[in-house]
Amino acid sequence: MLRAKLTTATLAFALIFLSISINAQTAAQPAPPKAPETPIEKIRDEGMNRSQVMQTLSYLTDVIGPRLTASPNLKRANNWTRDKLKEWGLENSHLEAWGPFGRGWTLQNFSAEIIAPQAIPLIAYPKAWSLSTNGLLTSDVIFVDAKEEKDLEKFKGNLKGKIVLSAPIKEIKAHFEAPGRRMTEKDLLALADAADPTKSRGGGPEAMLSSPRMAEFIKAAILDAKKMKFFIDEGAAAILAPSRSGDGGTIFLENAAIPQDLQGKPMMEAVMSLFMGKVNPWDKDAPANVPQITVANEHYNRLIRMIQAGEKLQARINLGVKFHDDDLMAYNTIAEIPGSDKKDEIVMVGAHMDSWHSGTGATDNGAGTAVAMEAMRILKALNLQPRRTIRIGLWSGEEQGIYGSRAYVKSHFGARADDGTPQAEMAAMMGGGAGAKIVTKPEFDKFSAYFNLDNGTGKIRGVYLQGNEAVRPIFREWLAPFRDLGATTLSISNTGGTDHLSFDGIGLPGFQFIQDEIEYNERTHHSNMDVFDRIQGDDMKQAATIMAAFLYNAAMMEDKLPRKPVKTN
């Protein structure tokens, strides 16, 4: 009834609206839009009115699919992007190997269900580099309720061939806020007013490592590592765990765990083992793990409650995987538009093309990849001749430790003298800190700027200056034509977690744009729902347009972008 009433009302409104708009059209003919004249107007016209960014993204995500580092899918994406950029007219389009990284991994088949005492199909996904079940696995399900190490004792001898629920119930709360959000004026003002990170005292890796939260985190990680070692030693057949967050069928997951001995290690070493993995499941000679599967939290919790109520559960799991160890190298796709009078100087754009495996890596980071490619397509389609060479880098191994872009920067521009030590690794991952002196290559002095996009599908709202105050007036001018598209904010603050750190870490101007995060943390970031349909097409067009304008401006200015003073120990 309500629906019928609404329909009638809606129809009446539509008729009124239609008559108004017809009247308006006959009354005043709008002036035809002015043809774009300046290069920036042309970039805007091409980017907003003839965009190909969504076609590019659809091929990367829907057709090629998830792009785990060193997997055949990522190799296919490397080849496809190299060929596409060449087809658009870019030059020197090629792949650059780095590594060795390790083994690739492909999911071949997967199903997981409870078959007794009643059928329960599970929303679940195996972790990357998990082992296979070697065919159909049918077994009892056991909940290992261990809050500390000694709780494991009572399960000794009982887990062989069993399917283990490895963690307690995950609390789930209702959502009272929409997952999709744009930055508010207040959010943007806070970013604009942020303190200069180069002047702040404290902070940095040391402060982070000594925080109580970190201590808690390490303690939990040590217990998790002990539990995993116990499960493997006891011969468990598969490990089921809840998703670290998420609900409603969205699960978040990365790679399978390899148990590591963290007990008694200094904090720095323990953190290093956790984040950078001294032993990784992709290593060629990695110790055997066990099939590791993440289950949607509502489904996972029910299984525990059934077991606690005395039910005997049986599950059937079929997990087939393939490891690829014929080529342990990984690849970045590189291509360029050669400059004119300053062609030996370089402006770069990039994004990481590798993704996690349970979705199709649409927002992390197919979006950034498609935007960076589209920015290059726009410049080439308009035949705007840049003075400096504009180069694109589509990175791999970002998800495992920002490896691809770091390898590229090291081989082309330079590295810290202590490169490869835990301290240098940590600094490279976190950004912003001091470090050992920088050993440079000749291209270091020819480098102007790097622009990165890796915060999801959301449009550009401004730029993080990474403590480089000298670029503020320059970027202010470059953003001015895009105020009406919502890009206004310059923040002196650092942002981390992605490939601009590889440049910033050795004192080269490297920037990540401020973006609306839309549903990034709630829905897509490393989840099974990181797929094409979560991408906002209008945001992507806006981002590619602004990216193209920044590249063009950086390539045309008289001087290279100013650098901030480099901190060395």
Three state DSSP letters for 514-540: EECCECHHHHHCCECCCCHHHCCHHHH
Whole-number minimum distance, CB 450 to Zn ion, in Å? Answer: 19
**Which pair of tokens denotes residue 66?**
């998830």
336/364 with CB nearer Zn ion: 364
Give the CA angle between residues 453, 455, 456 to the nearest 5°.
105
Residue showing tokens 């399960």 = 155
- From 64-72, 213-221, 363-371, 509-517, give the range in contact with Zn ion by CB under 5 A: 363-371
Strand ranges for 338-441 from DSSP E? 342-352, 388-395, 414-416, 438-440
**Which pair of tokens denotes residue 219?**
């303690």
User: Could you give the CA distance from residue 299 to residue 110 in angstroms, rounded to a whole number?
Assistant: 17
133/524 with CB nearer Zn ion: 524
Number of residues that bind Zn ion (CB under 5 A): 1
69/81 with CB nearer Zn ion: 69
Contact 432, 497 (CB under 8 A): no
Residue showing tokens 């209008």 = 538
Whole-number minimum distance, CB 496 to Zn ion, in Å? Answer: 12
Whole-number minimum distance, CB 483 to Zn ion, in Å? Answer: 30
46/364 with CB nearer Zn ion: 364
42/500 with CB nearer Zn ion: 500
Whole-number minimum distance, CB 544 to Zn ion, in Å? Answer: 20
- From 7-15, 200-208, 271-279, 358-366, give the range in contact with Zn ion by CB under 5 A: 358-366
Helices 367-381 and 537-556, axial angle in degrees (round to 10): 50
DSSP 152: G
Whole-number minimum distance, CB 365 to Zn ion, in Å? Answer: 7
Question: Which residues sit opposite 142 in a β-bridge?
Answer: 164
Q: Which residues have C-beta within 8 Å of that of residue 5, sequence separation ≥ 6? A: none
Nearest of 129, 401, 398 to residue 255 by alpha carbon:
129
101/231 with CB nearer Zn ion: 101
- From 98-106, 277-285, 360-368, 423-431, give the range in contact with Zn ion by CB under 5 A: 360-368
Whole-number minimum distance, CB 399 to Zn ion, in Å? Answer: 5
Whole-number minimum distance, CB 324 to Zn ion, in Å? Answer: 21
Q: Does 364 bind Zn ion (CB under 5 A)?
A: yes
Whole-number minimum distance, CB 532 to Zn ion, in Å? Answer: 17
144/540 with CB nearer Zn ion: 540
78/365 with CB nearer Zn ion: 365
Whole-number minimum distance, CB 13 to Zn ion, in Å? Answer: 44
Cα–Cα distance list, 212 to 215, 254, 265, 270 (Å): 5, 25, 17, 15
352/388 with CB nearer Zn ion: 352
Helices 39-49 and 367-381, axial angle in degrees (round to 10): 130
What element of type H or E holds 411? Answer: helix 403-412
- From 148-156, 340-348, 359-367, 423-431, give the range in contact with Zn ion by CB under 5 A: 359-367
Torsion of CA 166, 171, 175, 177, to 10 degrees: -90
272/353 with CB nearer Zn ion: 353
366/386 with CB nearer Zn ion: 366
- Nearest residue to Zn ion, by Cβ distance, number only: 364
364/499 with CB nearer Zn ion: 364
User: Could you give the CA distance from residue 168 to residue 144 in angstroms, rounded to a whole number?
Assistant: 8
Question: Which residues sit opposite 491 in a β-bridge?
Answer: 464
| Cα-Cα end-to-end distance for the chain | 73
User: Could you give the CA distance from residue 32 to residue 197 in angstroms, rounded to a whole number?
Assistant: 48
User: Could you give the CA distance from residue 177 to residue 187 in angstroms, rounded to a whole number?
Assistant: 17
User: Could you give the CA distance from residue 300 to residue 294 in angstroms, rounded to a whole number?
Assistant: 9
- From 31-39, 139-147, 255-263, 364-372, give the range in contact with Zn ion by CB under 5 A: 364-372
**Which pair of tokens denotes residue 377?**
């397509």
389/495 with CB nearer Zn ion: 495
Whole-number minimum distance, CB 339 to Zn ion, in Å? Answer: 32
User: Could you give the CA distance from residue 508 to residue 341 in angstroms, rounded to a whole number?
Assistant: 22
Contact 337, 91 (CB under 8 A): yes
Whole-number minimum distance, CB 431 to Zn ion, in Å? Answer: 16
Binding mask 311-350 for Zn ion (x = CB under 5 A): ----------------------------------------
Whole-number minimum distance, CB 389 to Zn ion, in Å? Answer: 29
Whole-number minimum distance, CB 526 to Zn ion, in Å? Answer: 6
Which residues in the 519-538 window bind Zn ion by CB under 5 A? none
User: Could you give the CA distance from residue 131 to residue 107 in angstroms, rounded to a whole number?
Assistant: 10
Q: Which residues have C-beta within 8 Å of that of residue 326, sequence separation ≥ 6? A: none
Instruction: Report the interface residues with Zn ion, using CB under 5 A.
Output: 364
